[in-house]
C-alpha cells in the first residue's frame, strides 16, 4: 500500500494513503467527508477508460490514512495534497474535489498556484464561504454548525445516520438512486474514520475561501445538485461564477449532495467533456 509521509505527531509518522492507476494526463480525486478515496468508484473506471492516470487518496483521519489529532485545517489539508503532488512529480494535472475536497482544490491553487495544474473541478462545492456573517449574509448560521458538533459529541453514529440521509436525500431517492446497501457501505466507511477527525473537520467547513478564488487561473468546472442539503447551492455553487474568471457551472436538477453516486451519468459526462 503506497503512502506519502506528511508529518509527525509525537513518535508516530502521519501518512497519507493513495492509489495511483493508469497512464496519461493525471487526474487527482479528493473525496468528501466522512468517506475515503474509494468513494470515487463511479468516476475512476470512466477516467481510466478515457486514458487518464487516476490518483485518489484518503484525507488524514479517514480511510487508510493515519488518524492524528493535529492538522485539521485547510492550510494543512492543502499541504498534504501538495506533498502527494510533489512525491508523484505530477505535471499537467487536473485537481477534482467533492464536498470537503473542493476546499483542498481551492486552497491549493490559492496558496501554491497552478504550475503543476491545468484544470480544476469542484463537485458539491464548499467555497466561497459557508458561515453566515455580516459581510456574508447568504451563509449558514453558526448555530447550525454548533448543533452538528453537539450531535457528534453525543453520538457520532447517530450523526452519521442524520448526515447520510441528507447526503443522499434518502426520503426522495431511496430505492431509485440510493440503495440500502450503498447507504450502509458509506456508513461503514464513516464509522471507521477517526472519531477525533469526525468532529475536528466541522469547524473547517466555516473556512473563508474568498481570497483564494480570484487566484484560480486555470479553467474551473463546478457541478452541483439543485437539492443539495449539505452545502446549499444558493450559498455555494451559484455564487462562484461571479468570483472565478474561467468557470463552467452546471446544475444537476434534483441532485442531492453526493451526485457522483446518485447521478453518475451527468457528473461523468460533465467531467469528460471538460477534460477534452
List active site positions.
99, 228, 257
CA atoms of 264 and 63, how far apart (whole Å): 22
CA atoms of 249 and 260, how far apart (whole Å): 16
**123: β partners:** 98, 223
CA atoms of 57 and 16, how far apart (whole Å): 7
Q: How far is CA 42 from CA 13, 36, 96, 196, in A?
A: 32, 13, 14, 29
Cβ neighbour number for residue 14 with a 10 Å cutoff: 21
Sign of the Cα pseudo-torsion (185, 187, 192, 196, in order): positive
Spell out the residues 6+ positions from residue 210 whose beta carbon is closer than 8 angstroms to its own. 127, 128, 129, 243
* Displacement of CA 241 from its chain's centroid (Å): 19
Cβ neighbour number for residue 147 with a 10 Å cutoff: 11
| Residue showing cell 464513516 | 190
**4: β partners:** 16
**208: β partners:** 129
Cβ neighbour number for residue 245 with a 10 Å cutoff: 12
Amino acid at each position: 500500500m503506497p503512502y506519502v509521509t506528511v508529518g509527525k505527531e509525537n513518535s508516530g509518522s502521519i501518512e497519507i494513503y493513495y492509489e495511483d492507476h493508469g497512464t496519461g494526463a493525471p487526474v487527482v480525486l479528493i473525496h468528501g467527508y466522512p468517506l475515503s478515496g474509494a468513494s470515487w468508484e463511479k468516476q475512476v473506471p470512466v477516467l481510466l477508460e478515457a486514458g487518464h492516470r487516476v490518483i485518489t487518496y484518503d484525507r488524514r483521519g479517514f480511510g487508510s490514512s493515519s488518524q492524528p489529532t493535529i492538522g485539521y485545517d485547510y492550510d494543512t489539508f492543502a499541504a498534504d495534497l501538495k506533498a502527494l503532488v510533489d512525491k508523484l512529480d505530477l505535471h499537467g494535472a487536473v485537481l477534482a474535489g467533492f464536498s470537503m475536497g473542493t476546499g483542498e482544490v481551492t486552497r491549493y491553487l490559492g496558496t501554491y498556484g497552478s504550475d503543476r495544474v491545468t484544470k480544476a473541478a469542484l463537485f458539491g462545492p464548499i467555497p466561497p464561504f459557508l458561515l453566515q456573517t455580516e459581510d456574508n449574509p447568504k451563509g449558514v448560521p453558526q448555530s447550525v454548525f454548533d448543533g452538528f458538533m453537539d450531535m457528534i459529541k453525543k453520538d457520532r453514529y447517530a450523526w452519521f445516520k442524520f448526515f447520510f440521509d441528507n447526503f443522499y436525500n434518502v426520503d426522495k431517492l431511496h430505492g431509485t438512486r440510493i440503495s440500502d446497501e450503498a447507504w450502509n457501505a458509506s456508513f461503514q466507511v464513516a464509522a471507521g474514520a477517526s472519531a477525533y477527525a469526525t468532529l475536528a473537520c466541522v469547524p473547517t467547513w466555516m473556512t473563508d475561501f474568498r481570497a483564494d478564488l480570484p487566484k484560480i487561473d486555470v479553467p474551473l468546472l463546478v457541478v452541483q445538485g439543485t437539492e443539495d442539503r449539505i452545502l446549499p447551492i444558493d450559498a455555494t455553487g451559484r455564487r462562484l461564477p461571479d468570483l472565478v474568471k474561467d468557470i463552467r457551472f452546471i446544475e444537476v436538477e434534483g441532485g442531492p449532495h453526493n451526485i457522483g453516486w446518485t447521478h453518475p451519468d451527468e457528473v461523468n459526462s460533465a467531467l469528460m467533456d471538460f477534460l477534452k
